[in-house]
Amino acid sequence: MVYKVLENESVVIHDLRLSGDGKKTKHQIDVVIEKRNVKKRVLIECKDYSETVGISIIRDFYGAVHQIKPDEAIVITTQGFTREAVNFADDEDIKLVVLREFDESDWEGKIKEIHLSINLLLISTPEISFLPANDIEKDKAIRAMNGEIISRQETNAKESYFYDSTGNKLGTFQDILSPIINRLERIAGEETKGEYLFDDVQHVDVNGVLVGMKGFNYSFSSYTIEEKSVIGVGEKIGLLLLKYIDGSQEKIIFDTDISKWAFEEDGKVVEKYKKC
């Protein structure tokens, strides 16, 4: 299961008997990994010993490796290897791995949590006052509002539109105004005011009457907020530490990594919810 955690996209089979091409002798292999995309076969011999693994174990495994000729060969144990075993494995390109219970001291030198603190500069809802393109358009707006001057009115920027002179929609207030507002300078704790002029006259609907606008006055306040978050292992429990002797790989195996997998009758490791 540990190697299924490491090789999620590969086929991992436990306890299999294999022979090399044209060979009669079958070898008992603890784990076989077949990588789907590149057709790579990895043989793994597992030894749960109370003492270090010696050269005889590596030499015996090499006999199977020599006949089966996998792309990769690994011996994994819980206590480590003798110097002679390491030397022989180096000579024959066999990787050696220690898999043992995880200890809290194993966090030393590793990142357990990342604390993020982000300061965001935000603005209040902008207040927009449209500027009629000329006196004629201004009079149209006043007549459309029955002569009343409305000092402030809330508008849904996602449902209100700008139009061309013939009534074709050009985009919502949000589509057109947001990019403009977002480009304006923001200073935390201060109010920003100003005037913006469109490149071309935009028309807005005032009580069913299209009124041409040359631009708008704007005002908004800027403020900062601090967002803090922690990226880490959360409630997961470190069960095992897998470490290659040559230092090429080291991984903490968590309880949640192991609990999602199960063995089928043929030894294949599959996700539990897919197990028939």
- Average pLDDT in the 58-78 region? 87
**Per-residue pLDDT at 5 exceeds 70:** no
- Please write the tens of the pLDDT for every residue from 219-236: 999 999 988 776 665 555
pLDDT confidence of residue 164: 94
CA-based nearest residue to 134, from 215, 219, 207: 215
Cβ(241)–Cβ(249) below 8 Å: no
* Residue 62: pLDDT over 60: yes
Q: Give tens-digit pLDDT for 85-99.
A: 999 999 999 989 888
Confidence band for 66, pLDDT divided at 50, 70 and 90? confident
Q: Please indicate whether residue 252 or residue 190 has the higher confidence score (pLDDT).
A: 190
List the one residue out of 30, 78, 75 whose CA is nearest residue 50.
78
At residue 71 the predicted structure's pLDDT band, cuts being 50, 70 and 90, is: confident
pLDDT confidence band for 70 (50 / 70 / 90): confident
Q: Name residue, tokens 């022989």.
A: 88
User: How far is the CA of 21 from the CAs of 12, 15, 39, 215, in angstroms?
Assistant: 21, 19, 16, 80
Q: Which residue has the tokens 């063995």?
A: 263
SS3 readout for 175-207: HHHHHHHHHCCCCCCCEEEEEEEEEEEEEEEEC
Segment 240-247 shows an average pLDDT of 73
Across all residues in the chain, what is the average pLDDT? 78
| Cβ-contact 74, 57 below 8 angstroms | no
User: What are the extents of the domains in the chain?
Assistant: 2-110+234-274, 119-228
CB atoms within 10 A of CB 147: 7
pLDDT, tens only, 151-176: 567 788 899 999 999 999 999 999 99
Query: 55-68 and 83-91 are packed helices; what angle lies between their axes, rounded to 10 degrees?
Result: 20
What pLDDT does residue 130 have? 94
Q: Which residues pair with 77 in a beta bridge?
A: 47, 98
The band of 32, judged by pLDDT with boundaries at 50, 70 and 90, is: low
- The CATH number of the structural domain formed by 2-110+234-274 is 3.40.1350.10
Most confidently predicted of 5-19, 83-97, 134-148: 83-97
Residues whose CB falls within 8 Å of the CB of residue 17, separated by 6 or more in sequence, listed in order: 26, 27, 28, 29
